[in-house]
Chain A
């Protein structure tokens, strides 16, 4: 079971955002996509979720994504966008329930409450979503996404979470909580694809890391293989020192002064 993008090209007008990127993510694993701003990470997720027109081939659990109906796809994968906004003053629990659109019986189940509890916000259920802080709103959106694929994963079928910068506005405790949720999801057989900026967190929770830069995939592999001084310095154009503790501990990265 896998989420497979082959040779993806995406152009916005004359600007080519992706030039032949491939990504192979396996169920049961957390796959992280890292890279500088504007390198095409969100664009890659957009292609994989059929949100953008793209050239190339995307297949989900062995079936091509193109031509599948929105509700068929929604039953297999949930997507957390980089930024969310809400047009009307829905409460938090209502927002989470909206995510259950695909499962028709969903609104009557307690899945939304469980999902909210999972992100530590069950006491926020009846607050107005539009009043939340940035981080709180992001966690509610994560709960919404979890609710969408919750039931099937519990039943043991591999489903997918596609997360675009799920921890970008969270405090450290909640960053770890999200990582815990993602690991747990993968441990139950689901697949997670997450766009990340924090390399240390990425090293901590990813099974596989893909590095994008300027619309191309520079490297793919385990965190230890990919997170190397030279690769990172080349990707980001600044000096980064990767420290690899002895044994099979995960590497960690220290920033240095800006000039290379």
Chain B
């Protein structure tokens, strides 16, 4: 008989250590937020404003506008969008059981974008009562519905008998992206000048249009998606063993998948609706976290939200300073930083041939 070594030690896993990481990340987020408020095109400084507020002085109108109407909404939206993109990436990777699944890469972002474009261009043609019901939520809701449809379609196409084919997933993503691009192209001809400006800025991905109205429009859906995602951790861990095994260990796989798909669509849709196609956050953030702290989704999803927010704020700061006083669309910054990381992931990835 083989000797059985009994260690008697309680299992020390990464989970216990990683669980406290989010406090560190929250602190980092606060620091980055301060930095983001401090730096900008005008010489209004966060520290001056804090000092004035503390000593009871009145802010100048310029300071008020720069701080409350430009920098603060931009910061909040950066946090929301970064968190939403990273969480939807992590959730989608868990759902597809593949670290390459990212809403931006597999066409869900493009699908959601199409929904948003349709809403922007054709929203005014809708019956009045629908416009009244949806109000300023029309664009995010349309982006969410289209994102949901594309995720659902993608999952159907690429998953057979509980197995997801990565090749099919990526190819279907290309097809979805191309289709969305073509339809958007048609809509550009129908759009009027104002809408056209909305659309072009928006294809590049930018936080420059941040406003409280947009935050009110997208914030609730993003918060809801992140809150729901944080409860998917256990289920997605089980799903890593395959659908059948996940079912065997007591997970309602069908329900888990439906909720995960809705979450991905909600977070991606809302983020895309307000900021356009900002790429690579959804794949780089979860990947780096998995390298650093392991793949446990119970911690991964929440930490991804925090790191996503931090990274996007930093990217936004970079976007504002490199060619100041002009600014780069943030999508360019995330692509320049993210694409090499993505290639590096591909290079390092084990079992690449199995694709």
Q: In whole Å, how far is B89's beta carbon from the nearest beta carbon of chain A?
A: 14
B191 interface residue, CB < 8 Å from A?
no
Q: How far is the CA of A17 from the CA of B296 in the complex (A)?
A: 38
Q: Is A258 interfacial (CB-CB < 8 Å)?
A: no
Given that A69-B252, A174-B2 are contacting pairs, would A97 and B7 also be in contact in the complex, using a CB cutoff of 8 Å?
no
Given the contacts A94-B13, A97-B13, A99-B249, A117 and B7 also touching, CB distance less than 8 Å: yes
Contact (Cβ within 8 A) B294 A94: yes
Q: CB distance A91 to B3 under 8 Å?
A: no
User: Nearest chain B CB to A14's CB is how many angstroms away?
Assistant: 17
Distance in angstroms between the alpha carbons of A81 and B243 in the assembled complex? 11
Chain A proximity mask over B4-39: 1 for CB below 8 Å, otherwise 0: 111101110111000000000000000000000000
Interface secondary structure of B, over-half rule: loop
Report the Cα distance A148→B241, complex, angstroms.
Answer: 14
A51 engages B244 (CB within 8 Å)? yes
Query: Are B249's CB and A101's CB within 8 A?
Result: yes
Determine whether the beta carbon of A88 is less than 8 Å from that of B99: yes
Q: Pick the contact of A97 from B11, B97, B242, B295 — CB < 8 Å?
A: B11
Q: Does residue B327 face the partner (Cβ distance < 8 Å to A)?
A: no
Least CB distance from B60 to A in Å reads 53
Cβ–Cβ < 8 Å partners of B242 in chain A: 81, 84-85
CB pair A113–B350 under 8 Å, yes or no, is: no
Contacting B at CB under 8 A, from A73-110, are 73-75, 78-79, 81, 84-91, 93-95, 97-102, 107, 110
Interface size range of chain A in the complex? 35 or more
CB distance from A99 to the nearest CB of B (A): 6
Kindly list chain B residues whose C-beta atoms are within 8 Å of the C-beta of A28: none
Are B251 and A70 neighbours in the complex by a CB distance under 8 Å? Answer: yes
- B296-321 with Cβ < 8 A to chain A: 296
- Give A94 to B9 CA distance when docked, in angstroms: 15
Contact A90 B295 (CB under 8 A): yes
- Judge whether B238 is part of the interface by a CB distance below 8 angstroms: yes
Contact A102 B250, beta carbon cutoff 8 Å: yes
A101 touching B251 by the CB < 8 A rule? yes
Q: How large is the interface on B (under 10, 10 to 19, 20 to 34, 35 or more residues)?
A: 35 or more
Report whether B248 and A113 are in contact in the complex, using a CB–CB cutoff of 8 Å: no
Q: Which of B222-261 contact A (CB under 8 A)?
A: 234, 237-242, 244-245, 247-253
User: Chain B's nearest CB lies how many Å from the CB of A61?
Assistant: 16
Q: Is the CB of A180 within 8 A of B1?
A: yes
Chain A nearest CB from B184 CB (Å) reads: 33
- Which chain B residues border A69 with CB–CB below 8 Å? 252
Taking the complex as formed, is B98 at the interface, i.e. its CB lies under 8 A from any CB of chain A?
Answer: yes
Determine if A91 and B294 form an interchain contact, defined as CB atoms under 8 angstroms apart.
Answer: yes
* A248–B11 alpha-carbon span in the complex (Å): 44
A107 in contact with B15 (CB, 8 Å):
yes
Q: Is B5 touching A123 in the complex (CB atoms < 8 A)?
A: yes
Taking CB as reference atom, which chain A residue is nearest B3?
A120
The listed residue with most B CB atoms (<10 A of its CB), out of A86, A88, A100, A107, is A88
Residues of chain B with a CB closer than 8 A to A79's CB: 244-245, 248
What are 7 residue pairs bridging A and B, where the CB atoms are less than 8 Å apart in the complex? A86-B241, A87-B97, A87-B98, A94-B15, A98-B241, A117-B4, A177-B2
Known A-B contacts: A50-B247, A69-B252, A73-B250. Give 6 more (CB < 8 A): A71-B251, A75-B250, A81-B248, A94-B15, A98-B249, A110-B11
* Contact surface of A with B, Cβ cutoff 8 Å: 46, 49-51, 69-71, 73-75, 78-79, 81, 84-91, 93-95, 97-102, 107, 110, 112-113, 117-118, 120, 122-123, 125, 130, 148, 173-174, 176-177, 180
The 5 closest A-B pairs by CB, nearest first: A74-B250, A88-B295, A87-B97, A71-B250, A102-B250
